[in-house]
Chain A
Amino acid sequence: MNDERKRILSMLGEGKISASEAEDLLDALGKNGDSQQAAGTSATPAVPRNIKYMYVKVLSSEQDNVDVRVPLGLIRAGMRFTSLIPPMAMATINSSLKEKGMNFDLGNIKPEDIEELIKNLADMEVNVKSKNGDIVKVYCGE
Chain B
Amino acid sequence: MVPSIMNLRIEDGNKFRLRLWLPLFLVWPVVLVLFLILLPFLVVAEVVLRLTNVQIYLFRLLGGVFSLLSALRGLTVRVKSVRSSSIVDVVIR
Identify the A interface with B (CB < 8 A).
16-17, 21, 52-53, 62-71, 73-74, 76-78, 80-81, 83-84, 86-88
Contact A74 B78 (CB under 8 A): no
Listed from nearest, the 6 A-B pairs whose CB atoms lie closest are A63-B82, A73-B71, A69-B76, A67-B78, A71-B74, A74-B71
Question: Closest CB of chain B to A12's CB: distance in Å?
Answer: 12
B15 on interface, CB distance cutoff 8 Å: no
Report how far A66 CA is from B77 CA in the complex, Å. Answer: 8
Contact A71 B80 (CB under 8 A): no
> Knowing A64-B80, A64-B81, A84-B57 touch, does A77 contact B67 (C-beta < 8 A)?
yes
Contact B81 A87 (CB under 8 A): no
Proximity bits, B66-85, A CB within 8 Å = 1, else 0: 01101111111111111100
B interface, size bucket: 20 to 34
* B37-74, CB < 8 A from A: 54-57, 60-61, 64, 67-68, 70-74
Contacts of A70 in B (CB 8 A): 75
Q: How many residue pairs at the A-B interface have CB separations less than 8 Å?
A: 69
The prevalent SS among residues of A at the interface is: mixed
> Knowing A64-B82, A80-B67, A81-B68 touch, does A74 contact B75 (C-beta < 8 A)?
yes
Contacts of A66 in B (CB 8 A): 78-80
Contacts of A69 in B (CB 8 A): 74-77
Report how far A53 CA is from B47 CA in the complex, Å. Answer: 39
Question: Closest CB of chain A to B22's CB: distance in Å?
Answer: 18
Report how far A53 CA is from B64 CA in the complex, Å. Answer: 20
CB contact between A87 and one of B55, B64, B80 (< 8 Å): that residue: B55
Report how far A29 CA is from B15 CA in the complex, Å. Answer: 35
